A and B are shown apart, each in its own frame.
Chain A
Amino acid sequence: MTTAIRTDALTKRYGRRTALDACTLDIPAGRVVGLVGPNGAGKSTLLQLLAGLLEPTSGTATVLGGRPSSGPEQLARVGFVAQDTPTYSGLTIRDHLRLGAHLNARWDAGLAEARVARLGLDPDQKAGRLSGGQRAQLALTLAMGKRPELLLLDEPVASLDPLARREFLGGLMEFVAEQGATVVLSSHLVTDLERVCDHLVLLAASHVQVSGEVDELLATHQRVTGRRRPHDEAPAGTSVVRSGHTDRQSTFVVRSSVPVLDPEWAVEPLDLEELVLAYMTQDVVDAHDLTVEVSR
């Protein structure tokens, strides 16, 4: 299985503020990766490091086998849709497509024009007059027209209404189905992404909290409930992500590769949102120790 993105202790500091701390990831090609975390967790920084818009303070990032933005060839392989989907407000949609054609050797004019037509956009409309959803679609079209092997999208649906969100993600998934590209898209809401992503990276407080295949994460995490007992008496063979206690009852979110069979415990599966919440409110232990790497 080929690797699309590999980062090794990737760190970015702005002055004394650490935006991303020792981020180590290994993401296989062909995945749709949900990069989830609260605002300010470092999602934008990570994506911009991968796109080559930022230089790391330390550590390395390898994208499709190369260093980000190391040359035109590398740039051509990676598409990027920035947060708030910036476009040139004075330029028309047609101008933007010409921009794409002039600035990308591998530009697919047919794909881009067909997309604009299917979205019902007027090519002579100025980008500054588009709605948020239309502008996002234009930015996505520009990124797709490059026929990238990797698409990076920074909070693409945050400012879109539910319909525009559905249309945007639908278009994106159609592209993935056709081109087989790897996609990384960030959101502070996992619910925005849970239908589309098959790989999850959770960032919080500048650290990677958990990273892995969604199916695998869901299969290996459970909520177990039983009578009140101390923290270290969680079910054997599991690691505790989060614990909660009342005077009678103890609830643990645990990670375990084997089923919990002890009848003392009631076991429930977690959905992705609960899993993310568990890691975001996890017991305060050294975050590095709790970072879980689930990979095949």
Chain B
Amino acid sequence: MTWLTWRQFRTQAWITLGILVALAVALAFAGAHIASLYRASGLATCTGATCSDLTDAFLAQARAGFTGPVRVLAVGVAYLAPALIGAFWGAPLVGRELETGTFRLVWTQSVSRARWLSVKLALLGAATALAAGVVALVVTWSSARVDGVSGRMEPLMFGSRGVVPVADALLAFAVGVLAGILLRRTVPAMAVTLAAVAAVQMAMPTWIRAHLVTPLSRSVPLDPTKGAGIGLQSDGHIRVWIEPHIPGAWILGSTTTLPSGKAFDGIADPTYCSRSQSPEKCLDWVAGKNLHSVVTYQPGSRFWTLQWIEAGIVVALAAVAVALCFWALRRRAA
């Protein structure tokens, strides 16, 4: 069974290996170049306010030249790899056998259907984890210096590093196999797989990831004379906001509150704040309110915690898909 699995998979395996090597080489060059930029930037030894300027300069350099496109490519590959694995390894695994009728050949050899599927899933599942792992590893490694400065909690960055791409790939593979079994056609199964993977990659950061661990919140005094923005809306309400900055954290949102902790309703006193009054008058009025901005966020220190929890959930979903594969294969009618 191992031999047959390898024999049917080896072409894809060689192609994948080629792509991985090319990717690793490109990212190794980019990573080494960024590391040298970092050493030259002096960020390692800076103190105080100079660090901020050095950071901006370093990030601008990292975005320029060939390292910028390579880094964009790296993120793209990290997101695409699961989808491609699901579509090109998962969907045809059983789907093509059902489509071409070869299942009637292979299921009437002296190997039970369940064992046939187990071996295929185990070997290609391992290959999936390995390939996605290599992608995630080289992306994580080559981005380490930039991530260390600008953070890696932003949804786009988070999903392309660590163990999440590996989990996504395993889910994509399992979903691909399941789609192949249920649809019994390779191409529709590939399409369904791509859609399913995209949906998971979209749903996770949009609705789920932020709540995996209760977010932290921080209250910052809102001083409209120092950096906070203020806007007078046509209905007479005013909006006060601040651009919260917490290094390395993923900012989920902020609300403006009164000192009592109640949310600021935005209803302004028209004797101070209206089209006919001067903005200064309104600013003074707002300052007198002693408003605070409560920022909710996930700190950078939770990167691995969130990675493992999300990966755990995705792998659990993959396990469900695998169980469904066995169930569907036993129940299917030719």
Contact = CB atoms under 8 A, between A and B. Distances in A.
B333 interface: yes
Interface string A82-123: 101011111100010011101111100000000000000000
B119 to A, nearest CB: 11
Contacts of A99: 3-4, 7, 106, 109
Contacts of B109: 75, 99-100, 103-104, 146
A31 B1 CA distance: 33
Contact of B7 (A53, A73, A78, A91): A91
Contact of A139 (B1, B105, B107, B334): B105
A213 B63 CA distance: 84
Contacts of B11: 90
A73 to B, nearest CB: 8
A243 to B, nearest CB: 39
B277 interface: no
Contact of A106 (B2, B106, B110, B333): B110
B181 to A, nearest CB: 15
Contact of B3 (A14, A73, A102): A102
Contacts of A143: 108
Interface stretch (B96-104, B227-235, B243-251): B96-104
B100 A103 contact: no
Interface string B1-44: 11110011001000000000000000000000000000000000
Contacts of A72: 110-112, 115
Contact of B333 (A14, A87, A102): A14
Contacts of A80: 104, 108
A198 interface: no
Contact of A53 (B4, B102, B107, B115): B107
Nearest to B331: A55
B113 interface: yes
B71 to A, nearest CB: 38
B111 A75 contact: yes
Contacts of A91: 7-8
Contacts of A78: 108
B125 to A, nearest CB: 20
A80 B11 CA distance: 29
A245 to B, nearest CB: 44
B108 A75 contact: yes
A54 B108 contact: no
Contact of B112 (A51, A69, A95, A98): A69
Contacts of A79: 108
Contacts of B115: 72
A48 interface: yes
B3 A98 contact: yes
A230 interface: no
Interface string A47-64: 010011111000000000
B108 A53 contact: yes
B4 to A, nearest CB: 5
B260 to A, nearest CB: 66
B104 A102 contact: no
**Max chain A C-beta neighbours (<10 A), residue from B3, B11, B100, B105:** B105
Contacts of B101: 82, 84, 86
A146 to B, nearest CB: 7
Nearest to B2: A102
A105 B115 CA distance: 14
A104 B112 CA distance: 11
Nearest to B107: A53
B102 A87 contact: yes
Contacts of A146: 109-110
A98 B100 CA distance: 20
A146 B107 CA distance: 13
B169 to A, nearest CB: 25
A89 B99 CA distance: 13
A254 to B, nearest CB: 39
Nearest to B109: A103
B4 A103 contact: yes
A142 interface: yes
Interface string B79-109: 0000000000000000000001111111111
A53 B110 contact: no
B102 A76 contact: no
B333 A55 contact: yes
A72 B100 CA distance: 24
A263 interface: no
B184 to A, nearest CB: 14
B317 to A, nearest CB: 29
Contacts of B1: 102-103
A75 B334 contact: no
A265 B111 CA distance: 59
B3 A86 contact: no
B115 to A, nearest CB: 8
Contacts of A86: 100-102, 104-105
A252 to B, nearest CB: 41
Contacts of A76: 110
Nearest to A75: B110
Give 4 closest A-B pairs by Cβ, nearest first: A82-B104, A103-B109, A80-B108, A76-B110
Interface of A: 14, 48, 51-55, 69, 71-73, 75-76, 78-80, 82, 84, 86-91, 95, 98-100, 102-106, 139, 142-143, 146
5 contacts: A48-B104, A53-B108, A69-B112, A71-B112, A75-B109
